[in-house]
Amino acid sequence: MSELLRQISDWTDKITRLIAVPVGIATVLVVFFEVLMRYVFRAPLVTSVEVARLGFVWSCFLGAALGVKRSSHIRFVFFLEKCGPVGGALLRFGVSLLCTAFFAFLLVKGVEMTQRVYDTFFPALGFSQLWLYLPLPVSAAVMLIHGVAFVAVDLAALRALGVGGKVR
């Protein structure tokens, strides 16, 4: 089961990367082009601020999901090392469980926020502001997938250490 969840997590990560990298590059290009137009040609683009904002928000949230997959966020490793193998495995499992619950909370609240702004629009672009808030539930869903996979892997590690036994 944990292998299947890991594969789903890996697949989701690949799709996230395929979206996040071009969006990040496009955001940098839009900002560069706007600076060029504003200060060199004295002809600023009205929509570039909104497009850059959208790209930045999407890049940040998708980047956070990529960071979760790679466990590249801040951790207190010195505390983990002091717990020993079983204590460390229990601590990792507990943290994975808490993170997964938080990702589920973010998903629910993100969907609520996105629904609230559906009828509001960007002044220059005319697009629904849903696109500005949508990265929260999307990235939360991706992080939730990764979190469930981490919980499964940590649970398997606990069982391999002889903690927990069989679930009835």
Computed over every residue of the chain, the mean pLDDT equals: 94
Q: How far apart are CA 58 and CA 142, in angstroms?
A: 13
Which residue has 């539930």 as its token pair?
137
* pTM of the shown model: 0.91
- Backbone phi, psi, residue 73, to 5°: -85, 165
Express as a percent the part of the chain with pLDDT over 70.
Answer: 97
> Which of these, 139, 115, 146, lies nearest to 58 by C-alpha position?
139
> Which of these, 139, 138, 147, lies nearest to 101 by C-alpha position?
147
Long-range contact pairs involving 13-20 (C-beta distance under 8 Å, separation at least 24): 13/65, 13/66, 13/69, 13/142, 13/146, 16/62, 16/65, 16/66, 16/69, 16/142, 17/66, 19/58, 19/62, 20/58, 20/59, 20/62, 20/63, 20/65, 20/66
Confidence band of 166 (pLDDT split at 50, 70, 90)? low
**56 CB-near residues (< 8 Å, 6+ apart):** 27
Count, residues in the chain: 168
Do the Cβ atoms of 30 and 51 come closer than 8 Å? yes
Q: How far apart are CA 154 and CA 150, in angstroms?
A: 6
The answer, yes or no, to whether residue 97 has pLDDT greater than 50, is yes
pLDDT at 167: 43
